[in-house]
Amino acid sequence: MKETWTYDKDKRFDQKGERWHFVRRDFYDTKIPYEDRPVEIYFRSNNRSTVGLLRFERQKDIHYRNYLTMINKIMNDVRFRETLLAPETKSIWNRNWK
């Protein structure tokens, strides 16, 4: 299965003024319909102390109204974000996204 990584170049800040970074990982397989393909949203705080992952097994399972609603929930809802923490994802941030 092929994959594509997309770095969110917009500067995102939480309610406390801390900056956050987001990367979307899309998987491609022509045998699988688009809405059934997995998607992953990786996130980290600017100081790299917090890293995590929100994974959806199928595109159609994304229940947020839109991307901005989803990332705002990650940035500002600490209890929700704690369920997504994934220290093993720290290494993906060594890539050059620009």
Cβ(53)–Cβ(89) under 8 Å?
yes
For 75-94, what is each residue's pLDDT tens digit? 999 999 999 999 999 999 98
C-alpha to C-alpha distance for 79 and 83, rounded to whole angstroms? 7
- Which distant-in-sequence residues (6+ apart) come within 8 Å of 80 by Cβ? 73, 74
Q: Domain residue spans in the chain? A: 2-90
Is the dihedral angle over the CA atoms 81, 84, 88, 92 positive or is it negative?
A: negative
**45, amino acid identity:** S
What confidence score (pLDDT) does residue 65 get? 64
- pTM for the predicted model, two decimal places: 0.88
Report for 22-31, 32-41, 43-52: range of highest mean pLDDT: 43-52
In sequence order, what are the beta bridge partners of 7?
Answer: 23
What integer best gives the mean pLDDT of the chain? 89
Residue 63 binned pLDDT confidence (cut-offs 50, 70, 90): low
